[in-house]
Structure 1
Amino acid sequence: MIYEDELPESPIERATMMESIMTAAATDGSPDNRIYEYLRREFMLNDELKDLLPPFVRTHRNLSSFRSWTQKQSPHWQPRRELIASGFTPMMDYLEGKGRTPGDIVVSDALETFDIEGVHSVWTKALARRPSDPDGAITVARTLLETVCKRILDERDISYMNTEDLPKLYSMAAKALNLAPNQHSEEPIKAILGGAMNLVNGIGTLRNRLSDSHGRGGKPVRPSPRHASLAVNTAGVVATFLVETHLEKK
């Protein structure tokens, strides 16, 4: 049994502890398997961090299995240490704030206020995938906008089909919030609202062409982290715009 006072408080300290335990297991240390299994279970249940775990953590439920695997990777200790350190780099970078922007915090605050269990959890998943899983991040970016639009339509008692695509859902939500370009006569406002609609359509196109949601024919085009940042950041800005307008009009 593990008691909380045996463990550090912050996620980054816990991640560091897990890395140290696994390094000891791969070399000549005597690691505590109880703590490893506890930390692994905790991170696996964390939607924000689960996708940033090293693949070998997700694969190996105990240190005995992990140690056997590292021995097959290399007979020497130093390559094993480097393998473990490299595996933990995405999570450590994320926990240290590398790759985060001030805009991430603004979006997080707005979406957390709106719906912490639904919309906000999708946003945190998009952030977590952005640096290490561009395919998945682009998919989740679209899911974020779909979720926000459906939640707004639900709260305003506006019916929709579950099969509606993102442009249609956004168009319905925008109209309900008086954000459709044709609801305004001032050219600057129409241009801004039209631009927002084009961004939403662009995310749908980017997802269809570059994300992991559809099989690809011919030579695959692999998205990079910059593509993922474009999709996730844009989705976050548009989602925040919708949410803030919805809450203000309520």
Structure 2
Amino acid sequence: MTASPLSAPLIAITSNFVSSVETHASLDSLFMYAGAHGDPPEGSKHVKALEWLRATNRHAADPLKVLGKIVEGYMDDPLTDPNYVDEPWKAVSPNLEAKREFCRKFKEVLARDGSLYARGGVITKGGAAPSKTLAQLIKGRDFPAIHREFDRAAETVDIRPREAVSAASNILESIFKIYIEDNGLPMPDKQDLQPVFKVVRSDLGLDPGSIEDEDLKRIISGLFSVVDGIGALRTHAGSAHSEGRKSYKLEPRHARLAVNAAHSVASFVLETWDKRIATKP
């Protein structure tokens, strides 16, 4: 048995869907491409998909990796994105509604299993990376992996928007704290998002007074509001704090805005940090 086996609902929903939209030949090709265990089982398409996934679950080194590759083409299709707006003049591709419904249910089942899907066929256990792993990504400046952490946060906005906001805020906070530690700067007494960002932006020369270009000054000043807003949203509506007497109605669109904004701030800070390192004498 593997450390992260596929749950019965996950196997059921996947086998039901792929057998309904693929031919025998395309099903074989898809599962072999994904690295499913063993030869194609005998039987109908549904039986084949079901038994192949069960065998993979029992014998494959990483069943989640195999499953991710099986569903990647459906999950990463722009037409199945919940924010995609159909264009009336374009013909609708076959099985599009079925694909959209599968993607929605697949995410729900993953969430119940404590897992998340990220673009590129990556399925991971848990809602956020362990802090040690995230710290290693930041210290090693593994940009693709850091971007993937934001992808993981974005994957939760429709089903767990509070957790998505908390995850985005935590990633920013980790980046800022590691910057402070690596550069020997004094850590503020209050180590929330806004105070640590204040130290970082001052050391990186991002305070408005140190920027000559007026257009850039206006954009970078907006970063301060973004970080303040994300920190406040996490406090008032994120999963890390109780709601209190007044319920904050955080919608997926709010969480998506916060995650995307945090991603932009993180990218800019990390790139500015690297430029400083590269230009040091």
TM-score normalised by L of structure 2? 0.52
Question: 2:186 aligned with 1:151, yes or no?
Answer: no
Change (3 A) 1:201 1:43: same
CA distance in 1: counterparts of 2:33 and 2:139, whole angstroms = 22
Residues 141 and 232, structure 1, Cα contact 8 Å, conserved in 2: yes
Partner of 1:247: 274
Task: Tell me if 1:172 matches 2:199.
Answer: yes
| Pairwise CA RMSD | 4.4
Cα distance in structure 2, aligned partners of 1:93 and 1:121: 10
Deviations 1:4-30 (Å, cap 9, x if unpaired)? xx954449x99xx9xxxxx86xxxx76
* Per-residue deviation, 1:164: 0.8
1:222 positional shift: 3.5
* Aligned residue number for residue 64 of structure 2: 43
The structural deviation recorded for 1:233 is 0.3
Q: Residues 86 and 135 from structure 1, CA distance in 2 versus in 1: closer, same or farther, beyond 3 angstroms?
A: same
Q: Is the alpha carbon distance of 1:207 and 1:7 closer, same or farther for their aligned partners in structure 2, counting shifts above 3 Å?
A: same
After alignment, is 29-38 or 188-197 more displaced? 29-38
Question: Which consecutive unaligned segments of at least 5 residues does structure 1 have?
Answer: 18-22, 47-82, 98-110
The alignment's TM-score, normalised by the length of structure 1, stands at 0.58
Residues in 2 aligned to 1:122 and 1:173: alpha-carbon distance in whole angstroms: 21
Q: Which amino acid aligns with 1:36?
A: N
Deviations 1:170-227 (A, max 9, x none): 1111111111123335544433222111110011111122221111123533322211
Structure 2 distance, partners of 1:233, 1:85, is: 21
* Equivalent residues of 2:188, 2:195 under 8 A apart: no
Q: 1:179 to 1:8 in 2, by over 3 A?
A: farther
Deviation at 1:139, TM superposition (A): 0.5
Contact 2:107–2:117, Cα closer than 8 Å, also in 1: yes
Shift in CA distance, 145/88, structure 1 to aligned 2, threshold 3 Å: same
Give the equivalent residue in structure 2 for 1:193: 220
Q: Secondary structure at the match of 2:64?
A: helix
Q: Which has the higher helix share?
A: 1
Aligned-residue offset at 1:160: 1.4
Structure 2 CA distance for aligned equivalents of residues 162 and 38 of structure 1: 51
Cα deviation code 1:55-98 (max 9, x no counterpart):
xxxxxxxxxxxxxxxxxxxxxxxxxxxx988631567996589x
Consecutive unaligned residues of structure 2, counting only runs of 5 or more, are 3-29, 41-45, 68-100, 111-115, 122-137
Residue in structure 1 matched with residue 106 of structure 2 by the alignment: 88
Shift of 1:165: 1.0
Counterparts of 1:154 and 1:112 in 2: how far apart (Å)?
A: 11
- 5 Å-filtered alignment, 1:42-191, equals 42-43=63-64, 87-88=105-106, 114-115=141-142, 119-120=146-147, 122-161=149-188, 163-184=190-211, 186-191=213-218
Decide which of 205, 212, 234 is 2:261's aligned counterpart: 234
Identify if the C-alpha distance between structure 1 residues 139 and 237 changes in structure 2 by more than 3 Å, giving closer, same or farther: same
Equivalent residue letter for 2:106: F
User: Relative to 1, partners in 2 of residues 1:96 and 1:149: Cα closer, same or farther, differing over 3 Å?
Assistant: closer
Work out whether residues 173 and 193 of structure 2, in 8 Å CA contact, stay in contact via their aligned partners in 1.
yes
1:247 Cα deviation after fit: 0.8
Distance 1:113 1:127, change over 3 A: farther
Partner AA of 1:221 in structure 2: Y
Contact 1:122 1:143 in 2 (8 A): no
Compare relative contact order (CA 8 Å, sep 6+) and give the higher one, 1 or 2: 1
* One-letter amino acid of the counterpart of residue 159, structure 2: S
2:234 aligned to which of 179, 199, 207 = 207
1:8-55 alpha-carbon deviations (Å, 9 max, x no partner)? 4449x99xx9xxxxx86xxxx7676442356796439x9xxxxxxxxx
Name the SS of the counterpart of 1:114 in structure 2: coil
When the two structures are aligned, how many residues end up with a matched partner?
187
Give the conservation status (yes or no) of the 8 Å contact 1:119–1:148: no
- One-letter code of the match for 1:87? K
Mapped to 2, the partners of 1:116 and 1:37 lie a distance apart of 34
Task: Identify the residue that residue 74 of structure 1 maps to in structure 2.
Answer: none
Deviation at 1:121, TM superposition (A): 5.5
Query: What is the CA deviation profile of residues 133-189 of structure 1, one whole-angstrom value per residue up to 9, with x for unaligned ones?
Result: 211111011011111212222332224158511111111111111111233355444
